[in-house]
Amino acid sequence: MRRVPTLSQQSIDTIKSTAPVLEIHGTSITKRFYEMLFTSHPELLHIFNHANQKQGRQQTALANAVYAAALHIDRLEAILPVVKQIAHKHRSLGVKPEHYPIVGQHLLAAIQEVLGEAATPGILQAWAEAYGIIADAFIGVEADMYRQTETQAGGWSDFKRFRIARKVKESDVITSFYLMPEDGAPLPTFEPGQYISVKLEIPGDTYTHIRQYSLSDAPGKPYYRISVKRENLLAERPDGKVSMFLHNETKEGDVVLISAPAGDFTLNQQDTRPVVLISGGVGLTPMVSMLQTLAATNPQRQVTFIHAAQNSQHHAFKGHVEELASQYPALSFYWCYDKPTASDRAENSFHREGHVSLDWLQSIVPTSAASFYFCGPVPFMKAVNSALREWGIPEEDRHFEFFGPAGSL
């Protein structure tokens, strides 16, 4: 990680004094910021996720980040690991250095407008100084990522044309897309748990849509596989537009634009301890990639695979995991359904009815001296994280991935 220049003590004191105000008004500031940004630069709507904007998730995530920066401005080195996580998303989306001055200009303007007279020249100057330092850190980290991505074997910059080689229905709501480069070039490898960005032009929409999907197969294949849940397209859930388009409108042979794999939610393959993979809903996609990799490269490592779904109709890769378990004795699996069907009960095809809980985890996971990975809807991850924390699992052994803007558990 690059070393971050330090702020003057006066600027540090000024910014820290704004933290209580930002805690109260942070979301109002970021909401106004995005309004101003897109009014002045509508072309940036080609990059930003429109659904996250409409649902307020992006505004909340940015407000939390600004508040965290104010709280920890005297030790920026401590919060820079988060820079790398966000930088992965930026590189995957195509964020460039020239975007940062634009963002800084409108963020300061939003602070000034929302806070009014409370935003003194001294406060604005301190935040301008801090933003410049933080932006330079992002630009530097992202430049390294762009360079590494483009120069790796089979790598490319920005977006590349891929053909949908196959569409495979995995459950009533999840379909897998097998993507192969249109030019036939070899694919760069990736770390299990990483994702790619898919850029689509939907007929009738002014701006392109970009969505990030976890890779759901092991590296080393001649294709990338993503497994997408079809979300219902509702006014209060605008995130369904892209998934509905992929499910209903695309067909084998169609071309989509793909960015190279990114993300820091990755399986530590040097760790020899038991590993526990816990997923909810479509959150199983990175877990399947990790499981496939473990089965292929380290079949002796003890793995507990736990998946929560509504029922078997919503349960993707069920048969595949069960088949893997028959080949690898070190793998055990458990299914948790909160709305099992009559057929599920008759066939006894699941292990627990209800939700994942601490007592159930303790009854099926052989040891707490393991590395835990989990992914799924935010309420699910909060419950799992709380259970693991209560169990005494150290923070460094609890690894999780958010779909969309990073939040807090």
Catalytic residue list: 100, 142
Q: 149 labelled as ligand-binding? A: no
CA pseudo-torsion sign 361, 279, 387, 394: positive
C-beta of residue 196 within 8 angstroms of C-beta of residue 259? yes
> Looking at this protein, which amino acid is placed at residue 358?
L
C-beta of residue 318 within 8 angstroms of C-beta of residue 337? no
Distance CA 326, CA 207 (A): 47
Distance CA 259, CA 257 (A): 7
C-beta of residue 19 within 8 angstroms of C-beta of residue 12? no
Q: 34 labelled as ligand-binding? A: no
Q: 282 labelled as ligand-binding? A: yes
* DSSP letter for each residue of 60-103: HHHHHHHHHHHHTGGGHHHHHHHHHHHHHHHHHHT--TTHHHHH
- Burial status of residue 391 (CB atoms within 10 A of its CB: 0-12, 13-18, 19 or more): middle
Q: 90 labelled as ligand-binding? A: yes
Q: 405 labelled as ligand-binding? A: yes
Token pair 């197969």 is found at 217
Q: 212 labelled as ligand-binding? A: yes
Of the chain, the end-to-end C-alpha distance in Å amounts to 25
Q: 399 labelled as ligand-binding? A: no
Distance CA 100, CA 131 (A): 9
Q: 283 labelled as ligand-binding? A: yes
Dig out the tokens for 234 from the structure: 């509702």
Distance CA 37, CA 55 (A): 17
* Chain mean position to CA 97: 22
Q: 240 labelled as ligand-binding? A: no
Q: 403 labelled as ligand-binding? A: yes
C-beta of residue 216 within 8 angstroms of C-beta of residue 285? yes
Q: 9 labelled as ligand-binding? A: no
Token pair 């760790």 is found at 271
Q: 366 labelled as ligand-binding? A: no
Distance CA 222, CA 31 (A): 43
Reduced to 3 states, what is the DSSP secondary structure of residue 374? strand
Token pair 């007929």 is found at 203
Distance CA 378, CA 283 (A): 10
Token pair 């159930």 is found at 360
In eight-state DSSP terms, residue 186 is P
Distance CA 63, CA 79 (A): 15
Binding residues for FAD: 195, 211-214, 402-405
Binding residues: 90, 195, 211-214, 281-286, 402-405
Binding residues for NADP(+): 281-286
